[in-house]
Amino acid sequence: MRDIGGMTQRVILLGGGGHGIVVAGLAAACSMHIQGVVDPDPEVARRFAGAEWMGGEDAAVLLYAPDAVLLLNGVGANRPATVRRRVYEALHGRGYLFPTLVHPTAWVAPGVDLADGAQIMAGAMIQPETRVGSNSIINTRASIDHECRIGAHVHIAPGATLCGNVVVEDGAMVGAGAVVTPGIYIGTGAMVGAGAAVTKNVPAGVTVRGVPARPSS
């Protein structure tokens, strides 16, 4: 349970796969204990000591009033981004809370704006005057420099580096180890491949790969 403002809230993890395991570790580092897991596979609850399998449908959460639970989005962003986004929007729209989580080993500059449901993983670094949108993941050891604008439902994958004044619009992904140079714009739903070096703007919905990054065929 999690006691917030004098009220005890049940912590429920949505998705028990690979990203769910990492989110569970993040939650533990933030002194949160998971009581319930929603996932199609009943065996996944064994991964989370003391957690109850609640079934495979998000509707299981509706058994609880919105102010009685905290929801952790464990749906990975490497699946179609629409799945993670759908889970968040369906329940957030009903008033359920997805808390913002920051791993104790991450460094987030004072004044950085982190929206609800943002997940800042171990070793990540976020520099001043940056904004991270709702339900976005700043993954393990990702680095985001000054004055970046990260939209909602974005995944900045492990080890990715965003230089200053980069804009990443809603639903986009920057792959593991990619480097985005200063002032670049990455459009809605775009994807930057792992290890890419982005030196030019990326239009909405376009996938780029390589060094330097170019649209993939």
Q: Phi/psi at 77 (nearest 5 deg)?
A: -85, -5
Contact 25, 32 (CB under 8 A): no
- Given the residues 19, 103, 146, 155, select the one marked as catalytic: 146
Residue 53 neighbours by CB under 8 Å, 6+ apart: 36, 37, 39, 42, 44, 45
Please tell me what DSSP assigns to residue 111. T
Among 211, 163, 166, CA closest to 187: 166
Residue 31 neighbours by CB under 8 Å, 6+ apart: none
Amino acid identity at 27 = A
Other Cβ atoms closer than 10 A to 22: 20
C-alpha to C-alpha distance for 97 and 68, rounded to whole angstroms: 9
Consecutive H or E run containing 214: strand 214-215
Q: Can 146 be counted among the known catalytic residues?
A: yes
CA 37 distance to own-chain centroid = 18
Catalytic residues: 146
